[in-house]
Chains A and B, each alone.
Chain A
Amino acid sequence: MTAPLLEIEDLYAGVDGKEIIKGFNLTINAGEIHAIMGPNGAGKSTLSNVLCGKPGYYVTSGNVRFKGRDLLKLSPEERACEGLFLSMQYPVEIPGVPITSFLKHAVNAIRSYKGEPELDTMEFIKMVKAEGKKLGLDNEMIKRAVNVGFSGGEKKRLETLQMSVLKPSLAILDEADSGLDIDALRVVAEGVNALHNENNALLVITHYQRLLNHIVPDFVHVYADGKIVKTGDKTLALELEEKGYAGFVKEK
């Protein structure tokens, strides 16, 4: 039995002087898909930002281990190099930085961290174009600057493209379905599913059950007021869809 991929123990964390995560516990093993569902304002995005080390977010107590290492001691780029990936809810636009050059820098940074040689540029661009095509991002879009002029749905496709190029061990999808129509949702979900295998894991953060029809979780956690209040299998998501969060939030 190998060590878990991610272990979060009794985590307390917040932002702007406000404690938002209060006693959070979660263990994710390789090969698993976890879903965290919760109402608006429960602190779902705070959790993903804390895990990725976004400046401004602080941890007051608790432990987070990623592949056995103390995650909280690592810089955001070290976390990424170790294999953590966040598909962001609101990906930022970066004018003047082309997608291909951005991805090439990212891939080579991760390869160099692992002591691997840099990739050949031509091969790399070919690979990015092929992956992009699968996600409905044509060559013209790949040539553009990162997220500049992209619709909400296109941004989510580009997040998924980055994930498929960077091949993380743990991908956190923060509201990966927001801004997506039914067809785009299917494309993104297929992209994510194609990457999932027994060596990596997914943490899907969402309001709605609909994404979980496409990315089927092994575990569903209800997250309210800074911690997990109930854990079940995929049927819990259906129950939530039917009854709403009100019942669970009261349980605390």
Chain B
Amino acid sequence: MDGLIQDIKLIGEEIPWLKEIRAKGRNAFIKQGIPTPKTEAWKYTKPNRFFETPFSYTPSNLISISSNIKLPFDCYQINFTNGVFNPFTSSLPQGIEVMPIIEAIMFTPKVREKISNIAKVDENPFVALNTGYLNEGVYIHISSNVDIKKPLTIVYETLCTDRNDMYNLRNLIHVEKNSSVQIVEAFYYEGKVKSSYFMNVVNEIYLEENSHLRHYKLQDEAFKSAHIAFNAVKVEDNASYKSFCLQKGADMARNESYVELSEKGAHATVDSAYIMNGWATIDTTTNINHLKPYTTSSQLVKGVVGGQAKGVFQGKIHISPNAVKTEGYQLHKAMLLTDDAEVDVKPELEIFADDVKCSHGSACGELDKEQLFYMQSRGISEDEAKQMLIEAYLNDVIAKVDDEKIIEWIKLSLNSNKSE
């Protein structure tokens, strides 16, 4: 834990309640510590090996900001460069508001109340650490009764430095009733990878009655980095949260989705894909909580693992005693490309109600040699044929994304091989 907790002056340090939120986070982190292989929730991913390198919080005045990443689809774009929010340039339509998180919580008590409400500091050490450094990130607010057509994109770009930097980003997304919006997150790096960095992101998402959020994410971090993301989502009456995350970068990564279907008719789709090589460990963890009747959830997770890499899927569906007439589905499938590739899977169903429909499944396979030969026998090279078969394998989960342009971007990202 050396260096992770530093005595650094953050904005609003003189405000007692803000100081207290951070202190609670830091204390909860110190109490829990970095997970070890004995920590049940992290036993496959073993993040401790990564923290043998000391990381430190880097004050933003050390960071030179310059970003020119432009995504290949029409969107409203927000940029973070090395964990620092870039002043917003493009204009936003009516009904959508974006501001630095620290401003939002300092000046709006209603926002303040929502911090650490669903992303609890005593249940996850990295959420605790993130809260301890609560400073950077954005507050996104969507007013009621609006339908935002163009996606809002958050690009997190890391320009590689020779320091071992740690970035703690905290976003709060609040969609008021009867509104819908698409939010895309893209994690990229630039430059030669000289050192390691640690990206620690927490999203707290509140979806009011009959609101709809589609949340798409690409994790393409540098191969020496660690990426840990915690997405905590509360879904109210007839609201829906539909997400897809493609993870392909980082040395050690976890994308965790914690969802509370807290009122009748709430729905969550939590889909993912991962594709990896080398020695990486990529973890997809879900925890879907059906708290009320007539709530539904569905998860499809597909992975392709090569080299000596390790894929991890931990998927939990919890159904509370009164949550009758609920439906929860989960399916994980992985393709292993080499003998040394590994997948660890832990599906869990906790059902405390009768009259529910639930299922989970997991399957593991390898590239079909007959298909490979068939393609080669038509002139297609072995590498190209493999790439086509991998894309075909992941096709069904990617095709569940609602937007054609975003699907195209994800497929393109699948084949870009900067992180080799």
Contact = CB atoms under 8 A, between A and B. Distances in A.
B396 interface: yes
B8 interface: no
Contacts of A53: 377
Contacts of A106: 375, 378-380
B395 interface: yes
A102 B379 CA distance: 10
B391 interface: yes
Given A55-B369, A92-B368, A105 B388 contact: yes
A95 B392 CA distance: 7
Contacts of B376: 75-77, 80
A110 B389 contact: no
Nearest to B368: A92
A92 B375 CA distance: 10
Interface in B356-401: 368-371, 373-382, 384-385, 388-389, 391-393, 395-396
A70 to B, nearest CB: 18
A94 B371 contact: yes
Contacts of B371: 92, 94
Contacts of A86: 377
B395 A109 contact: no
Contacts of A102: 375, 378, 380, 388
B377 A76 contact: yes
A85 B378 CA distance: 7
Nearest to A101: B388
Interface string B273-284: 000000000000
Given A76-B373, A91-B374, A113 B389 contact: no
A55 B373 contact: yes
A241 to B, nearest CB: 31
Contacts of A54: 373, 377
A21 to B, nearest CB: 19
Nearest to B399: A96
B373 A97 contact: no
Nearest to B374: A92
Given A92-B368, A92-B370, A77 B389 contact: no
Interface residues of A, number: 32
A105 B388 CA distance: 10
Nearest to B376: A76
Given A75-B382, A80-B377, A97 B369 contact: no
A166 interface: yes
B382 to A, nearest CB: 7
A96 B396 contact: yes
A76 B381 CA distance: 9
Given A55-B369, A77-B376, A105 B384 contact: yes
Contacts, number: 75
A96 B380 contact: no
Given A54-B373, A105-B384, A96 B379 contact: no
A135 interface: no
B392 A94 contact: yes
A88 interface: yes
B380 A88 contact: no
A215 B380 CA distance: 29
B381 A109 contact: yes
Contacts of A55: 369, 373
B261 to A, nearest CB: 31
Contacts of B385: 77
B392 A105 contact: no
A88 B388 CA distance: 21
A166 B378 contact: yes
A81 interface: yes
B382 A80 contact: no
B127 to A, nearest CB: 37
B379 A97 contact: no
A108 B400 CA distance: 30
A90 to B, nearest CB: 9
Nearest to A113: B379
Contacts of B396: 96
A85 B371 CA distance: 16
The residue in A53, A77, A109 that gathers the most chain B C-beta atoms within 10 A of its C-beta is: A77
A109 B380 contact: yes
Contacts of B389: 94, 97
Nearest to B388: A97
Nearest to A105: B380
A110 B379 CA distance: 6
Contacts of A107: 379
A77 B392 contact: no
A88 B376 CA distance: 13
A200 interface: no
17 contacts: A52-B377, A54-B377, A76-B377, A80-B378, A86-B377, A91-B374, A92-B371, A94-B375, A97-B389, A97-B392, A102-B380, A105-B380, A105-B388, A106-B378, A109-B380, A113-B379, A145-B392
Given A86-B377, A105-B380, 13 more contacts: A52-B377, A55-B373, A76-B373, A76-B377, A85-B377, A91-B374, A92-B374, A94-B374, A96-B391, A102-B388, A109-B380, A113-B379, A146-B374
Question: Which 10 A-B residue pairings sit nearest by Cβ, starting from the closest?
Answer: A96-B392, A80-B379, A76-B376, A106-B378, A96-B395, A109-B379, A110-B379, A77-B376, A92-B370, A97-B392
Interface of A: 52-55, 75-77, 79-81, 85-86, 88, 91-92, 94-97, 101-103, 105-107, 109-110, 113, 145-146, 162, 166
